[in-house]
Amino acid sequence: MEVATTLLLTLLGIATACIVAGITLLARTPRQGTGFRILRALAWMLFAFGTGLVALIAGLQLAGRLGPAQLWFRAPSFYVAAAILVLAATWWFRRPFVHPHARLIRLGLPAVALVSLGLLAIAHRLDGRSTPLSALLPTLRAVAPELSFYESSSGAVRRLSEYRGKVVLVNFWATWCGPCRHEMPMLSSAQADFAGQGLVVIYLSLEEPAVLEPFLRAHHFEGVQGRLAQAADYYRAGQIYPLSYLISRDGRVAKRWSGRPAENWLRDSIRGEL
């Protein structure tokens, strides 16, 4: 799922307004009168909704659920969300509590929230469909390890290092993968448009020729088709589909992502390396 930055910033604005409204109501509501309990409950609901929405957005960005462009280290909205959560937490821990169990409430509720988030994160990681952790971290423009494949058109063994000097997009896919079939025409279009500027898209499958060849005869994609021969563990080949690596002309990993990105983000990323 790809989400626009403007939508995320709008949601964060709404969440911030709710948090501020809740804090303001808590500070200004008289501690007596018939409407006191109602206003106080409303204030806490606004605060909880706002902080919950901000935490949800930040969590989805950490998990890579909002698309490659909105992955936490690329998205300005993540840092906005993190700042909002820090400010909300600062207010929570500095706010005076008038309650017999004030210390338990002040520390206990955040602890319960953190434990719950931790359990959700563990459950997410145990899901075999979850994105590899490596795809959720910056590449730091590391040198792309060598890999080799059998080129479908000739059967010859080719190596990634042969394409040094080109911008290479390596895409791991499978014939049974629906998101792969959805993404590959977009990669093919990019190959057609940027081939003259030095882009090479390499589609790599781990499937047997008896499965792969009929599919390729029925579907044409611009670029180099191949069957993986050998790849370093770095690539996590076969762990999740689709999985892509954009490699610069000097052989460094500029970007990696899992799933179909927004086309404008993909093209901007390719242009940045050409």
Parallel, antiparallel or unpaired: strands 167-173 and 224-231:
unpaired
Residues 74, 237: Cα–Cα separation, whole Å: 23
Output DSSP code: residue 70.
Answer: G
221, amino acid identity:
F
- 120 alpha carbon, distance to own chain's centre: 17
pLDDT tens-digit profile of 32-69? 666 778 888 899 999 999 999 999 999 888 888 888 88
Residues 126, 192: Cα–Cα separation, whole Å: 39
pLDDT over threshold 80, residue 14: yes
Output DSSP code: residue 128.
Answer: T
pLDDT tens-digit profile of 151-194? 988 889 999 999 999 999 999 999 999 989 999 999 999 999 99
Res 68: pLDDT: 85
Whole-model pTM: value is: 0.81
Residues 136, 72: Cα–Cα separation, whole Å: 8
**Quick one: tokens of 195?**
């081939």
